[in-house]
Amino acid sequence: MRLPRPSAPICLLDLAAEHAALQPALDAAVREVLAEAAFIQGPAVGQFAAELGAYLGKAHVVPCASGTDALTLALLSLNLPAGAEVIVPAFTYVATLEAAALLGLRPVLADVRPDTFNLDPAAVVAALTPRTGAIIAVHLFGQCADLEALGALAADHGVALIEDNAQAVGATFQFASGEVVHAGTVSAVGTTSFFPSKNLGALGDGGALLTRDPARAALLQQLANHGQSQKYHHQRIGLNSRLDTLQAALLRVKLRQLPANTAARQAVAARYDGALSGVPGLQIPARDARSSHVFHQYTVQVEGPGRRDALRNYLHQCGVPTAVYYPLPAHQQPAYAYLGYRAGQFPVAEQLCETVLSLPMHPLLTAEQVDYVGEAFNSYLISAERV
Ligand SMILES: *Cc1c(COP(=O)(O)O)cnc(C)c1O
C-alpha cells in the first residue's frame, strides 16, 4: 500500500478518454444524423453494416438493437420446435440463456474448459440429446471457443451452431485446414453487441447478426423489422429490433479505431503477462494457439479459498479497480433454478466463479499503469500474505 501511485488514476475502462480523442468525428456524425433526420433505418445503418462486414471478411451484417436481441433473432431464425434444447456454456453472461428461455426453448448447460473459460466440446457431447436444436458457443473475454470441434459436433448431429461474439469482435480462428476466419462469421449465425463497454461499443445499446449466408441474412433482416417483407406486409412474427441511425453513425467512427484499439489491448495484455507471470498461485490468461485474443477482458485466476477476494480488496486499496465476471454460474442464478441443476454439476464453472479476476483493460492503459498493477500483486504476496 506504500507503492508510489502512477501519475494518472487507473480505470477498469476509460470511455470518456477514448471518446475525447474522437470528439470532432463523433460531433460531425451526430450533426449529420440530425440534419438528415432519418432516425430509423437511415443511410448510416447500411453503411456501417457494409463496413463491419468488410472488416469481418465479407460477412453479411444485420444490425439490431442489442446483443441480447441478436441472440433472440438468431434462435428465431432457426425455427426450432417449442421445448427444443439449446446447449449453452455454464460460465457466460446471462443473456446467452435468457434468449433461449424467453423463446420457450430449454437452455441445457455444458461446462467450460478451465484454461480458456470456453465451452468444453466433451461436455457438449455429453449434453447432446435428440431434442438438441442448437449449440451456442460464447467467445468469452475475447478469445474464440474451439470452433473446430464445436463446428464438427454441430455438423455431425445436424444441429445449428450459434456464435455469441459479443466479446470477441475482430478475433480470428485458424482451422486445421489452414483456413482463417473471423469470430462470429463461421457458424450458422453469429451475434455481437455494441454495448458501450464492448470492444466495439456504441454510445448506447446496439447489436448485430453475422452470417455468410445471404438467405439467412435476408431472413434475419426481416425478423428484426417486425417480420415484414415490405412495409405493412408481415411474413413472420418478428421483433422491433433496429440499430438507431445515430448509433450506426457513431459506430462508423468507432469502427475505424477498432484495429488500433485491438492492438493496444494486446500490447497491454502482453505487458500484464510479463508483470504477472512469476506471481505464485496466479494463472495468467491461457491462449489457444488457433485463436487470436482481442482481450475484451484480461482475466487471471487466483487460486486458494477466499484468496481472490482478499487480493481484490488489497488491490482496491492500492487504487487498482478489478471486476469479477462472473460471480455466479448460470445454474445457480435464481431465475434458472427451474432448470433443476444442482450445485456441483458444473465444477469448472463453479470454481471459476471463485477464482477469476478481471484487471483494468482498455486501449489507453499506459505501461506505467500496467507495471504498477504488477507491483501491487507482488506487494500483496510479500506484505499482506507474507509468503
Ligand atoms: C454483452 C453480452 C451480451 C449481451 O449484449 P447486450 O448488447 O448487452 O444485450 C450477450 N452475450 C455476452 C457474452 C455478452 O458479453
Ordered by where they begin, the domains of the chain are 17-252 (3.40.640.10), 258-386 (3.90.1150.10)
Calculate how far, in angstroms, residue 209's C-alpha sits from the geometric centre of ligand 1: 12
DSSP secondary structure string, 281-296?
A: TEEPPP--TTB-B--S
The closest alpha carbon to 264, from 336, 199, 215, 219, belongs to: 199
Taking the mean position of all CA atoms in its chain, how far away is CA 322? Answer: 18
Ligand 1 in reach of 70 Cβ (< 6 A): no
Ligand 1 in reach of 164 Cβ (< 6 A): yes
Residue type, 316: H
- Cell numbers for 26, please give them: 463523433
**Residue having the nearest C-alpha atom to atom 5 of ligand 1:** 67
Calculate how far, in angstroms, residue 193's C-alpha sits from the geometric centre of ligand 1: 6
User: Are the C-beta atoms of residues 199 and 258 closer than 8 Å to each other?
Assistant: yes
User: Are the C-beta atoms of residues 136 and 101 closer than 8 Å to each other?
Assistant: no
User: Are the C-beta atoms of residues 91 and 150 closer than 8 Å to each other?
Assistant: no
User: Are the C-beta atoms of residues 13 and 197 closer than 8 Å to each other?
Assistant: yes
- Cell numbers for 355, please give them: 477464482
Q: Evaluate if residue 318 carries a pLDDT over 80.
A: yes
Calculate how far, in angstroms, residue 346's C-alpha sits from the geometric centre of ligand 1: 22
The closest alpha carbon to 99, from 75, 80, 129, belongs to: 75
Quick one: pLDDT at residue 387?
47
Ligand 1 in reach of 96 Cβ (< 6 A): yes
Q: Select from 195, 296, 358 the residue to mutate for testing ligand 1; criterion: most ligand atoms less than 8 Å from CB.
A: 195
Ligand 1 in reach of 207 Cβ (< 6 A): yes
Ligand 1 in reach of 166 Cβ (< 6 A): yes
Provide mean pLDDT across the span 84-96. 97
DSSP annotation of 225: B
Give me the half-sphere count of Cα atoms (radius 13 Å) on the Cβ side of residue 93: 16
Instruction: Give the pLDDT confidence of 105-162 residue by residue, as tens digits.
Output: 999 999 999 999 999 999 999 999 999 999 999 999 999 999 999 999 999 999 999 9
3-state class (DSSP) for residue 177? coil
Instruction: Give the pLDDT confidence of 12-57 residue by residue, as tens digits.
Output: 999 999 999 999 999 999 999 999 999 999 999 999 999 999 999 9
Whole-angstrom CA distances from 70 to 3, 53, 165, 191, 208 are 45, 16, 10, 5, 6
Helix (H) or strand (E) holding 245: helix 245-276
Regarding pTM above 0.75, the answer is yes
Ligand 1 in reach of 93 Cβ (< 6 A): yes
